Structure 1
């Protein structure tokens, strides 16, 4: 039964430390500053709901100097309001309260509320991942770096049972990256290993098509964001002519209205879109992208944005509600020295929720 509840809010800093220098085309990541949002209510005594916010430096709309102050302001505002326990109404209330310019805060608030109204047991939705321990297929992510570091990662992923490998490219010279992919493909055919690449906008409109022609030789499944976002005509031309299917990622960030979402996808006509709820404005906004994409015949998969296991759990449960066939980008739980212990487990190229494993402390 739907009812209105009031909550108290607490923000807990969560500085995460990478196990290695995580290379991207925008630079090397060594740490990530996230925040846990904990909600409590007398209507749900003895438990709390938890969500996670954390901008990606150089990419998120909420990568701004006043992020923590803005999150504190939202938390104080939340304590002055009453919220519905009905999921749809709750999501609408949160979207109205938290501006799109704070997408990861909106994601944290959605997650914390849904966790709370579901009993504070880290169950965000009814879903097969949590309820039935049904696994989600995921890709193995290979980070940028020196050739020997990337080669070592590739071997580790294949030995661990991954059958879909995603390699970030654009940090070292293209010929070296191509050779690494060639070595995988020489040993494993396209029916044995699926290869995805993510350029993070590293190509230019002038050189992109030539590089895509070379990648075609390796039976690449798809390439994420070959050129920088915002170059709509150039991207539309690439999507039309590329011999490798294109997946949009950064292109989706900061689009506030459904009409604009539809307009962008109709104009660019990508084969796939990549969905990061923390960057797109939360679970409600991501659901809109999915609905529009499926209506246009565009495929999709979901990807974490370097959250801890708290955020990863929420995204995995959300993805599971769609029963995805394509491997999702949800294998990031092993990136950090100090991640929160959780039931999330990666095994044989799948993400599992192992209910026998407890959640660690979240204070």
Structure 2
């Protein structure tokens, strides 16, 4: 197994609960049939996001400690402690296994899980930042003109009155047929969240994502039970397991991040557990490089009738690891059908 570090400059700073980042750093993980217990070469990506996954150094330590990169090596990587490291290896092995079988990663995932054939394309949402009313309206109109039928609007950074005004303006601009989502990134108290969901009903949001802090699982349960607006959980999966969130009846929608859950296999398993509990899964990235992003597209494609996913994140990078083999077109991403992640698209990285 080969591990190659990389650093990708962001188009603009990325703000998380803990810090502001200018770069995304990680490792390309390559498995080779000449040295590893695999039939075909495979490529993965481990891009940790502090606050969501392990640190960069912990990720590197976990990858360096794997040794033999055969399929059994996954058992030695803790998906809870070092999910990004496990993602890198799991994606590389999935790429190699699918290439060996002459199938795309999505086809192989669906086959292994006994699911229907994967979708040919995945709908994606556009993200509208927390700017002014005019800025939000212009961005929403551009996105709809570009073919997006689902918009996620950032809220919570301003006062509630300002957020209500922005959402109403966006809804007036794009009309009733476009799906609106609101993402508060855990910024509200219970009382503010309750008022927000009540006032947002006028714009008919599909759901409000992470209205309460990540660790307030009981508050999310109570809010969901009392509100007519669906609730989605995202950051809470950094504080609780999928099972804990589902068992708490804390969400209507589960935001599934393959990098944070430990790989494409773990992400698909989480999506299936969510569906079994009556919760809808939505696949998103952690602002990853193109290798992991394409892997997430395959995961989303393997989920039957998946909703619009948060996979249109390539534009957040000023530069990428390689050209994107499946760019967004008219609000959708066509799923690569060549063997593995995308046929020979990443041969220069393997």
TM-score, normalised with respect to structure 1:
0.82
1:71 maps onto 2:71 in alignment? no
The 5-angstrom pairing of residues 121-132 of structure 1 reads 123-126=104-107
Q: Following TM superposition, by how much is the alpha carbon of 1:164 offset from its aligned partner in structure 2, in angstroms? A: 0.4
Equivalent pair of 1:107/1:283 in contact (CA under 8 Å) = yes
2:187 paired residue number: 202
Equivalent pair of 2:268/2:303 in contact (CA under 8 Å) = no
Aligned to 1:346, which of 328, 333, 338? 328
TM-aligned CA distance change 1:36 to 1:254, over 3 Å: farther
1:54 maps onto 2:34 in alignment? no
Cα distance between partner residues in 1 of 2:311 and 2:182 = 15
2:294 paired residue number: 313
Secondary structure of the 2:190 match is coil
Q: Following TM superposition, by how much is the alpha carbon of 1:328 offset from its aligned partner in structure 2, in angstroms? A: 1.3
2:149 paired residue number: 163
The 5-angstrom pairing of residues 114-263 of structure 1 reads 114-119=94-99, 123-126=104-107, 134-145=120-131, 147-190=133-176, 192-253=177-238, 255=240, 261-263=242-244
Cα distance between partner residues in 1 of 2:20 and 2:159 = 16
Cα distance between partner residues in 1 of 2:244 and 2:66 = 33
Structure 1 range deviating more: 24-33 or 233-242 = 24-33
Equivalent pair of 2:217/2:250 in contact (CA under 8 Å) = no
Cα distance between partner residues in 2 of 1:26 and 1:215 = 28
Number of aligned residue pairs: give it. 336
Secondary structure of the 2:65 match is helix
Cα distance between partner residues in 2 of 1:215 and 1:75 = 45
Q: Following TM superposition, by how much is the alpha carbon of 1:209 offset from its aligned partner in structure 2, in angstroms? A: 0.3
1:335 maps onto 2:316 in alignment? yes
Secondary structure of the 2:203 match is coil
Q: Following TM superposition, by how much is the alpha carbon of 1:316 offset from its aligned partner in structure 2, in angstroms? A: 0.9
Equivalent pair of 1:23/1:171 in contact (CA under 8 Å) = no
Q: Following TM superposition, by how much is the alpha carbon of 1:126 offset from its aligned partner in structure 2, in angstroms? A: 1.7
In structure 2, the gaps of 5 or more residues are: 111-116
Q: Following TM superposition, by how much is the alpha carbon of 1:77 offset from its aligned partner in structure 2, in angstroms? A: 3.3
Structure 1 range deviating more: 213-222 or 37-46 = 37-46
Aligned to 2:12, which of 16, 20, 23? 20
TM-aligned CA distance change 1:40 to 1:144, over 3 Å: farther
Equivalent pair of 1:254/1:280 in contact (CA under 8 Å) = no
Q: Following TM superposition, by how much is the alpha carbon of 1:296 offset from its aligned partner in structure 2, in angstroms? A: 1.7
Cα distance between partner residues in 1 of 2:221 and 2:75 = 30
2:23 paired residue number: 31
Q: Following TM superposition, by how much is the alpha carbon of 1:51 offset from its aligned partner in structure 2, in angstroms? A: 0.9
Structure 1 range deviating more: 353-362 or 199-208 = 353-362
Equivalent pair of 1:16/1:32 in contact (CA under 8 Å) = yes
Q: Following TM superposition, by how much is the alpha carbon of 1:347 offset from its aligned partner in structure 2, in angstroms? A: 0.9
Secondary structure of the 1:217 match is helix
1:288 maps onto 2:261 in alignment? no
- RMSD in angstroms over aligned alpha carbons? 3.0
Q: Following TM superposition, by how much is the alpha carbon of 1:252 offset from its aligned partner in structure 2, in angstroms? A: 2.0
Deviations 1:113-159 (A, max 9, x none): 11123338994342699x99811111112233455544443232111
Q: Following TM superposition, by how much is the alpha carbon of 1:314 offset from its aligned partner in structure 2, in angstroms? A: 0.7
Q: Following TM superposition, by how much is the alpha carbon of 1:255 offset from its aligned partner in structure 2, in angstroms? A: 4.3
Equivalent pair of 1:22/1:143 in contact (CA under 8 Å) = no
Deviations 1:282-331 (A, max 9, x none): 23332332232222211111111111110011111112112334111111
Equivalent pair of 1:229/1:250 in contact (CA under 8 Å) = yes
Cα distance between partner residues in 2 of 1:47 and 1:324 = 31
Equivalent pair of 1:227/1:235 in contact (CA under 8 Å) = yes
TM-aligned CA distance change 1:45 to 1:221, over 3 Å: closer
Cα distance between partner residues in 2 of 1:210 and 1:82 = 51
Cα distance between partner residues in 2 of 1:19 and 1:262 = 35
